[in-house]
Amino acid sequence: MSLYVARSSAVAARALEGEMIVMSTRDSTLFTLNEVATEIWQAADGRTPLEEIVERSICVKFDVEPAAALRDAEECCRKLAAHGILLVSEQPIVPGA
């Protein structure tokens, strides 16, 4: 089953020299995303399946095996979702929903 990911609206984010810094505007918690998480973050539009993001961005850029990359990506997304900065759903995510 495909997963869909979208950036939470309760965050502020900006890339600084290749590092993505994300802050929860609810509790001011700061996160620094690594390169792989940054790729996912930037592609997390709520419409593109995570599997496609992994194949298109991560496998090409980091030369990793798709199945392993998808497992790692799912784990990463669930961690970010647990912190409330990313939304994860089995259905496409409508903005503002």
Partner 1 sequence: MTHDVIVEIGGTPVRLSTEDPALVEILHDRYAGFITDRPAAAPLQLRIHLVSGLVPGADDVHVTRSNGLWRFERSDFMAEWSPETGRGTVRQTLPNPYSIDTVLRILHSVVLVPQRGFLLHAASAIRHGRAFVFSGISGAGKTTISRLAPPDVTLLSDEISYIRPNEGRYVAFGTPFAGELAKAGENVSAPLEAVFLLAQGPENRRDPVAPAEAARALLRNILFFAEDPGLVELVFRSALDCVSRVPVWRLTFVPDPKIWEMIA
Footprint of partner 1 (CB under 8 A): 10, 12, 14, 16-17, 19, 21, 23, 25-26, 28, 30, 32
**DSSP 3-state assignment of 12?**
strand
Nearer to partner 1, 8 or 57 (CB): 8
Cα four-point dihedral sign 86, 77, 73, 37: positive
Q: Smallest distance from the beta carbon of 14 to partner 1, in angstroms?
A: 5
Nearer to partner 1, 4 or 31 (CB): 31
Distance separating alpha carbons of residues 55 and 66, to the nearest angstrom = 6
Tell me, rounded to whole angstroms, the distance of Cα 20 from its chain centroid. Answer: 11
Nearer to partner 1, 16 or 67 (CB): 16
